[in-house]
């Protein structure tokens, strides 16, 4: 019976430990929130170009499956975003001056971003997330700022029904010191979750315009 009680205590401690991890992020109060928000915005304004690698982990809830994709992202002012997947297969996505171009299996297709509100919104989220311009997302999302000391998490919930039917919540995780984004996590109503981890970030390097020429 002693063993049973010990086991119960271990389970209790483990669940407390888990709760502690979940609650380690605390809400930023009014002044702290404003300071971080403004600093993040000021930092984003200085970004003319950004290059990074990413690892995307997608949890398919219905199949208890995880799909991992890898690739690179290149952003250049104003609003040009090249999203290149190299694993599990090559896929290129480009947002350039209101046009979306995709390239898959050597086939290129191009269309106006207005005809795909989902992709337009996704690009807006990615660009804002990469730059740290969370202010630009506040018209579409309610935002909450939390911190664990070294990181700031911006929890965004859609304001309108249309976005809410695609995303339950989007979390952006920033380094509290550098204001650089480290991950973007998207939770969907279907129960799926996609986490894009950003690494090897290069700010304001020389990015040739030719990079955005996709044919």
Partner 1 sequence: MIKYLTYISLALILCSCTPKMSPSRGDLNPVVSEIAEKPMHFRATITFGNNSITGLMAVKQRSDLAIAGSFTNEFGVKGFDFIYRDGKTDLVYVMPAMNRTMVKKILRRDISLMSGYGIRNIGKLGGDGSCETPETFYPDPAEKGHGINNITVSGSSSGRKKILILEDSRYKLRIDLVSLLPDEE
- Where on the chain is the footprint of partner 1 (CB under 8 A)? 1, 4-5, 7-8, 56, 58, 60, 62-63, 65, 67-69, 83, 85, 87-89, 91, 93, 102, 104, 109, 118, 122, 162, 165-166, 186, 188-190, 192, 194
Report the nearest approach of partner 1 to the CB of residue 16 (Å). Answer: 17
Secondary structure element (H or E) that encloses residue 152, with its range: strand 151-158
Q: Which residue, 152 or 196, has its beta carbon nearer to partner 1?
A: 196
Give 146's strand partners: 27, 153
Q: Which residue, 40 or 186, has its beta carbon nearer to partner 1?
A: 186
Cβ(43)–Cβ(199) below 8 Å: no
Query: Can you spell out the DSSP letters for 167-183?
Result: -SEEEEEEETTT--EEE
Q: Which residue, 8 or 178, has its beta carbon nearer to partner 1?
A: 8
Report the nearest approach of partner 1 to the CB of residue 91 (Å). Answer: 5
Which residues are CB-neighbours of 122 under 8 A, at least 6 positions away?
none
Report the nearest approach of partner 1 to the CB of residue 177 (Å). Answer: 29
Report the nearest approach of partner 1 to the CB of residue 35 (Å). Answer: 32
- Distance, CA of 161 to CA of 166 (rounded, Å): 9
Q: Which residue, 22 or 62, has its beta carbon nearer to partner 1?
A: 62
Q: Which residue has the tokens 């995307």?
A: 56
């Amino acid at each position: 019976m002693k063993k049973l009680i010990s086991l119960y205590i271990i389970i209790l401690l483990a669940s407390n430990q888990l709760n502690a991890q979940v609650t380690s992020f605390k809400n930023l109060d009014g002044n702290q929130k404003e300071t971080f928000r403004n600093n993040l915005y000021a930092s984003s304004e200085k970004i003319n170009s950004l290059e990074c690698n990413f690892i995307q982990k997608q949890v398919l809830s219905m199949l208890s499956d995880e799909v991992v994709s890898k690739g690179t992202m290149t952003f250049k002012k104003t609003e040009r975003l090249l999203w290149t997947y190299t694993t599990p297969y090559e896929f290129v996505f480009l947002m350039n001056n209101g046009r979306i171009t995709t390239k898959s299996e050597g086939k290129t297709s191009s269309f106006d971003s207005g005809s795909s509100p989902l992709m337009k919104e996704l690009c807006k989220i990615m660009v804002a997330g990469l730059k740290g311009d969370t202010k630009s997302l506040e018209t579409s999302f309610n935002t909450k700022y939390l911190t664990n000391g070294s990181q700031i998490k911006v929890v965004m919930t859609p304001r309108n029904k249309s976005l809410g039917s695609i995303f339950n919540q989007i979390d952006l995780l920033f380094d509290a010191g550098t204001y650089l984004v480290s991950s973007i996590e998207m939770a969907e109503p279907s129960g799926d979750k996609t986490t894009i981890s950003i690494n090897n970030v290069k700010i304001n390097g020389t990015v040739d315009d030719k990079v955005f020429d996709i044919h």
